Structure formats: C-alpha cells, structure tokens
Amino acid sequence: MSDWTSGYVADIGYTYGYYKELNPLRMRLALLNAGIEPPKVTTACELGFGQGLSAAIHASAAVPQWWGNDFLPSQALFAQNLVNTSGANAQFTDESFAEFLARDDLPKFDFICLHGVWTWVSAENRQLIMAFIKKNLKVGGVVYVSYNTQVGWAQIMPLRRLLVQHTQRMGAAGEGSAQRIRQALQFADQVIKTHPLHATANSQVAPKLQELLGQDPHYLAHEYFNRDWQPMDFADMAEVMAEAKLDYASSASYLDLIEAINLSAEQQQLLNQIDDIALKENTRDFCVDKKFRKDYWIKGAQNLNPVEVVNALRAERVVMTKPRGAISLVLEGALGIADLAADIYNPILDYLADYQVHTLGEIEQALASHGKIGLQEIVQAMFIFTHRGEIQSAQSDEAIAAVQGRCDKFNQALLTKAHGSASIYFLACPVTGGGIEVARFSQLFLQGYQQGQTSAEDLAKYVWAILEPLGEGVMKYGRTLESAEDNLAELTQRATHFLEREYPMLKALGVG
C-alpha cells in the first residue's frame, strides 16, 4: 500500500495560526524599500496552507481571488468551510503538490506563498513546488517562502534527530503522534540530565529541549517530527529560485531591514563590501545566527528611481491594529534589547492612535514640526511596528467597502466558535485585508456587545453564561477562579478594559 502522507505527520492536526506575511498587501513596503515596484495582486495561491486560517482570512478580507492546497483532507475541508461562511470565491483543495501541478484550469498568479512548508517536505516535493511556481507565476509576480537555515540549526539538528529516532524505534504500535512525542521528549530530558558532552559543547541544546517540553504537541509534530526536515542556506535557496527565473527581492522579516539593531558597525561595514547577494546574505545569517528566514522573491523586478520610491512610499496607507496603550518602545534585535527614541516614535504612534487610515506622507506632513521625524524615520517605524503586528498596511477605500460584508459574516462564524474553544484568536479585518489578533474573551465580549450588551456588567454576565455550563472558569494568577462571584468580578474588570481600549479600535477597523 502506498503511503499518501510521504512521511509527513498526518494523525495530528496543525495549529490554527495566522501568518501576516502571507497577506500580499504586506509585501509592498518591503519591495518599495528595496526600490522595486510591487505587482498589483488579483490572483494569489497558498501552497500547503495547514489548517488554512490565513488563506481563509485573506480570501475573505481582500479583493484578490485565492487558491490553495493542503494534502490533509480535514484541513482542506476546514479551510473551505471557513471561507464559505464569508461568501468569498476561493478554491481550496486537498490535492498533493503533484496533483495541483497537473491541473490545467488554474490561472497565472501574482502572488504565491508557502509558510512552514519548504523545510518539512521531501526533495521530490520541493521540486514539485518549484515546477508549480515556474508554471503558474506571472511575470512580475512575487513568491514568499519561509525556511529553516543551516547556520541557525547546526547545534540543534542532532537533538531533533534523536527525538525522531525515538518516535520511530520506541513508539508502540497504535500510539498516536502526540504520545510518542511526549515519550521522546522525556527520553531526551533523561539524556540531558546525564550531562552528555554534546550538550556541554553546544550551549543551545539543553535550553532548546526545555523550550520543546513546554510546547503544544500539535505544533511540535509538524515542526520537528516529520520524516523530512532539511534546513537550507540562502545561497542554496537562491540557486533553486534561479531555476524559475526568480531573484531575491527582500527579507519579509521587517526587523531584518533595520541593521542597527542586528549588526555591529564592523559587521555592517563588512557586509557593505560584499557585492554577491548570496554570499552577503549567508554572511549576514552567520553574524546574527539566523534560524528562520522569510523572503520575497520576484520574477522580473521593475526597479524604481529614487524619486519614484519616495513618492510611492508617501502614498502607502497604514493603520494601527493594536490598542495604543499596549504598544511598547522596547525592541529586541539580534544584538539584544534596545529602547526606541520616545521623541521620534511616540508622536508617530500618537498620530495613528485614532485607528484611521493614514498615508506615510500624511504622517510626514503632520509631524514636520518635530524636526527629527522625516520619511526615513517613519518608514523605519513602520518596519518595527508592522513586524510586531501593531501597525499594518491598509487597503484602498474601495476594497474596504467591497469586503466589509464578507468579513462580517466570516467573523460571526469565528465568534461562535469562540464559545467552546480558544484555538482561533484572530478575526478578519476589511481595512488591512488580513487578520488581527483578538483573544477569546475579547471575541465573546465583541459578540455580546453586538447583541446589545453594552455595559461591562452585562458583558460579564453574557460571557459567564457561556462558560459556566461548560464547567470553565477564568484563569487569574495561574489558578482557575471557582465561585460565580469571583468569575463575574474578573470578567467585569476585563470587559471594562475591552470597552475602553479594544472596542474603539475594533470598531474603527471594521471588525466591531
């Protein structure tokens, strides 16, 4: 009997993550910063979409039409059912990469993306992915791909191999992946406690194991325990991409675009002397011990002159997507923790705190009297806060109006799911064309508010009426509250916070 899984973990579902880099609108700022004209995206495709939450959100919250595949039928069905709630015309399938490649009814795509796929599939499937891109990507189109790198995983690869060997050789017949993973982690913990020389010589090993011991087996199964797991250097990836006529455009990890927080002055000077892009990026990864790359590749870059770049940047639309009071000026880069200059970044954040869409040019003009704040500082602020999901690119007014109804329907489906589960903590935003983070209780408060419960006390009662029959209580200081009085008091406090800080933002973003 053939193994349709190709060695991929299939008996345990992937987590319901949302990945902002898969929103095609997000690539614009990175490409403009690189002096490249971004393509207009009308068709998009996600390969290996996992549970498909990102794909369903992007299909529902933006105008481009989406296609995608994931070979696990349960995940493909979840994604299709979820997007169907919005009425968006997206097509998600459980076809393998080979089957998806063989189709002759697919359009040419402006944007093809794959997150958490490349490192975790076989060499044969990587070839199929590249054949799909070569066949189906438009000239001028962009590919987003993320992958583990050799330099960052060098110390950890033997530990990962030890864990996989334990699941393969010691797991009992009939045991599921989750149980085998727990047993493998316990075994590795026993090994580390004997102080093996490998862990002594490689300082990352023991802390990494402790990190794994505290993580969800559903995540670990797909991240570490597939048969195929192949980190790759940038230079090797560049050779693969070149076969499909793709050139490197930019990192999609926006903090990588700010050298001062990642590289010393000596490292920056060295890198500036390297003309070969593959050697330069490999050297940079070596300097920062890069473990996971997120990159944009383009087929036929159209370079802009400096005046065109400045004009395009000034026209870019952005919006704040986290409550202003929750945004910190502490930033962590490869070099460590840094405090952002309050006299530069606070005025930018304060200007955007109305949760309305503004262009970078409007911000520049409004803050011109501050003296220190020009377009360069504003773009750098966008890299920082967009990386953290606190600011996002915004769609046109026409696109927002076109998708508002779809987002309303989509979000109602997720709000209902929140009654019994905290697994999905994102909602679709018509302003950004993507997802924004909204925790479970905030989702329930939002639904209660929409149903007329507008005071903190009424919202607390609304949520408690959902939790109590399920035998659930609110967690506070690491323990579950037991009495109805304590739960209602805590829910009332959280509802007050929701009404004062979260709801105004959600309403402005078309989510409330």
pLDDT tens digits for 452-491?
Answer: 999 999 999 999 999 999 999 999 998 999 999 999 999 9
pLDDT at 144: 98
Is residue 177 in a domain?
Answer: yes
pLDDT per position as a tens digit, 144-189: 999 999 998 888 888 888 888 888 888 666 667 788 888 888 888 8
* Listed range (70-84, 161-175, 442-456, 494-508) with the worst mean pLDDT: 161-175
Beta carbons of 158 and 146 less than 8 angstroms apart:
no
**Same domain assignment for residues 322 and 444:** no
User: Predicted confidence band at 4 (pLDDT cuts at 50, 70, 90)?
Assistant: very low
Which domain-ending residue is among 364, 393, 422? 393
Write down the pLDDT at residue 1.
40
Rounded-to-integer distance, Cα 416 and Cα 434, Å: 20
Strand positions, DSSP E, 226-382: 247-251, 292-298, 317-320, 330-333, 336-339, 358-359
Range of the domain at 410: 401-508
Q: Which of 206, 224, 242 is the last residue of a domain?
A: 224
Percent of the chain with pLDDT over 90: 80
* 254 & 105 share domain: yes
Rounded CA gap, 309 and 345, in Å?
23
**Residue 41 — very low, low, confident or very high, per pLDDT cuts 50/70/90?**
very high
Q: Are residues 361 and 452 in the same domain?
A: no
Same domain assignment for residues 245 and 352: no
Task: Classify residue 277: in a domain, yes or no.
Answer: no
Residues 245 and 163 in one domain: no
Is 147:281 a contact under the CB 8 Å cutoff? no
- Single-letter code of the amino acid located at 103: R
Least confident of 57-66, 176-185, 265-274: 176-185
How many CA atoms are closer than 13 Å to the CA of 239, on its beta-carbon side?
5
Q: Looking at residue 435, what DSSP letter applies? A: E
Question: Where does residue 480 fall: left (phi above 0), alpha (psi -120 to 50 degrees), or beta otherwise?
Answer: beta
- Is 282 contained in some domain? no
Backbone angles phi, psi at 123, to 5 degrees: -60, -35
Given a contact cutoff of 8 angstroms between Cβ atoms, the answer to whether 255 and 234 are in contact is no
Q: List helix spans (H) across 289-374.
A: 306-315, 342-352, 360-366
Strand partners, 296: 144, 250
- Strand, coil or helix: 340: coil
Q: What is the CATH number of the domain that holds 237?
A: 3.40.50.150
Residue 418 lies in a domain: yes
319 assigned to some structural domain? yes
Residue 439 domain flag: yes
Amino acid letter, 212: L
- The string of pLDDT tens digits covering residues 277-307 is 999 999 999 999 999 999 999 999 999 999 9
Does 82 lie in the same domain as 213? no
Q: Are residues 143 and 156 in the same domain?
A: no
237 and 215 both lie in a single domain: no
Residue 11 domain-assigned (yes or no): no
Residue that has been written with the tokens 């070596």 in this structure: 286
pLDDT of residue 2: 46
What average pLDDT does range 319-344 have in this prediction?
A: 95
β-pairing, 137-148 vs 479-480, is unpaired
Question: Residue 273 above 90 pLDDT?
Answer: yes
pLDDT of residue 127: 97
- When comparing pLDDT for 165 and 342, which is higher? 342
**Residue 8 confidence (pLDDT) above 80:** no
Residue 249 φ then ψ, to 5°? -105, -50
Pair of tokens at residue 197? 């020389």
Query: End of a domain among 334, 361, 393?
Result: 393
For residue 189, the Cα-to-chain-centroid distance in whole angstroms is 30
- Which is it for the CA torsion 166, 170, 174, 178, positive or negative? negative
**419 and 373 fall within a common domain:** no
| 375 plus 437 within the same structural domain | no
How many domains, the chain?
4
Residues 203 and 174 both lie in one domain: yes
245 in the same domain as 108: yes
Neighbours of 148 (CB within 10 A): 21
- Residue 275 in any domain: the answer is no
